[in-house]
Amino acid sequence: MTKVIQNTTQVLLGFIAISLGMFIYIAFRPSWQTVWIPEVISLDLKKFWLCTKLGNNLPSFLHVFGFSLLTAGIIVRKKWTYMIICGSWLFLNLLFEFLQTDAAHTRLRYMSSNHDSLNPVLHWLKNYLLHGVFDPKDIFALMIGAILAYVVLMKTNKGG
């Protein structure tokens, strides 16, 4: 029988990181700022200033870190692919971060104003990006997350 999970430790650490990131979004972010959190479950705990400040960039770190570990823990048998996985998640997250710049907002508004019926994917992307805020600190958090994910993957590697 083929193993579905190649490395249980990596999958568990990845799941914990993603869960923590989701908790931060639910607890400390207003619902209008996230596409996938309904207002009903958003706690929006602004009174915890330190957590709110820390929570601004921590989800970026946790996203690239957690998904790198999850991906590697499920599909990887050779450790040389760890760098590809971490780099791919870093690239994808950087792309979405740069799509939140003012230039991307302007371009997307122009594209959507000239089309009566938006493609559903473009419509979702427009909602996501127009509610997002570009933050250079997120870029730093993403890079640290990818580097730390690679280190953790190497340390938790079961050989191969």
H, E, C per residue of the chain: CCCCCCCHHHHHHHHHHHHHHHHHHHHHCCHHHCCCCCCCCCCCCCCCHHHHHHHCCHHHHHHHHHHHHHHHHHHCCCHHHHHHHHHHHHHHHHHHHHCCCHHHHHHHHHHHHCCCCCCHHHHHHHHHHHHCCCCHHHHHHHHHHHHHHHHHHHHCCCCC
Question: What is the model's pLDDT at position 117?
Answer: 61
Question: What is the model's pLDDT at position 41?
Answer: 56
The pLDDT tens digits of the residues spanning 92-151 come to 999 989 988 888 877 777 776 666 565 677 777 777 777 778 889 999 999 999 999 999
CA distances from 33 to 64, 87, 88, 133, 152 (A): 19, 27, 25, 9, 31
Give the relative orientation of helices 58-75 and 8-28 as an angle to the nearest 10 degrees.
150
Lowest mean pLDDT among 21-30, 31-40, 139-148: 31-40
* pLDDT grade for 154, boundaries at 50, 70 and 90: very high
Residues 31, 83: Cα–Cα separation, whole Å: 34
* pLDDT grade for 55, boundaries at 50, 70 and 90: low
Rounded average pLDDT over 21-49: 64
Rounded average pLDDT over 34-62: 64
